[in-house]
Amino acid sequence: MGMQTSQEPRARRRRGAARARARVMAEINVTPFVDVMLVLLIIFMVAAPLLTVGVPVELPETAAEALPVDTEEPLAITLTADGRILIQTTETPEDELVSRLRAIAGERRSDRIYLRADGAIPYARVAQVMGALNAAGFRNIGLVTDTGGPRLDGGPVGNGG
């Protein structure tokens, strides 16, 4: 009998150790989640600048502040240095500009439109296109420029002032 009692605790210890090793781990390993989130962050940081309107235009620089942002996607008209007119990124013949803009104006809630004109375009040409925008029903025309241009009030050049 003495032998049996000495073996019972040893068998119990083995079963207890097996149970301790077989327990389910209740913690979540977050390292893979963090890795995936960092990769997604990098992808979005690289892709975000590519989502802007991609017509190359040398905008003039002014000291004007940016306009407030609408909830509706802004409509942009671009005048390139070589004389082309684009609605967003679609080239449009000059004689079809007003009719296409009237069709677009009927579908939009806002009458705001952005005019992006290359700095080499003569002012008379920009004024003609602005007249066409007005004739098409767009009364709220924003001229798109780059910031950091000269100020006429004698203040420092750029935004510092």
Note the pLDDT of residue 34. Answer: 92
What are the structural domain ranges in the chain?
A: 75-145
What's the DSSP call for residue 54?
Answer: -
Q: How far is CA 115 from CA 33, 68, 77, in A?
A: 44, 15, 5
Give the model's pLDDT for residue 161: 44
Beta partners for 146? 61
At 46 the pLDDT is 86
The confidence score (pLDDT) of residue 19 equals: 59
- CA dihedral defined by 147, 149, 153, 155, rounded to 10 degrees? 90
| Strand 85-87 versus strand 76-79 pairing type | antiparallel
**Is the whole-model pTM more than 0.75?**
no
Neighbours of 133 (CB within 10 A): 22
Instruction: Annotate 82-108 with DSSP letters as a single string.
Output: TS-EEETTEE--GGGHHHHHHHHHHH-
Check residue 119 and give its pLDDT.
85
Q: What's the CATH number for 75-145?
A: 3.30.420.270
How much is the CA Rg of the chain, to the nearest whole Å? 33
Q: Distance (Å, rounded) from C-alpha 96 to C-alpha 78?
A: 15
Per-residue confidence of the chain (161 residues) as pLDDT tens digits? 455 555 555 555 566 555 556 677 778 888 888 999 999 999 988 888 776 656 677 777 777 777 666 566 778 899 998 889 998 888 989 888 888 888 888 888 777 889 999 888 898 998 999 999 888 888 888 888 887 777 777 766 655 44
Cα end-to-end distance, the chain, whole Å:
98
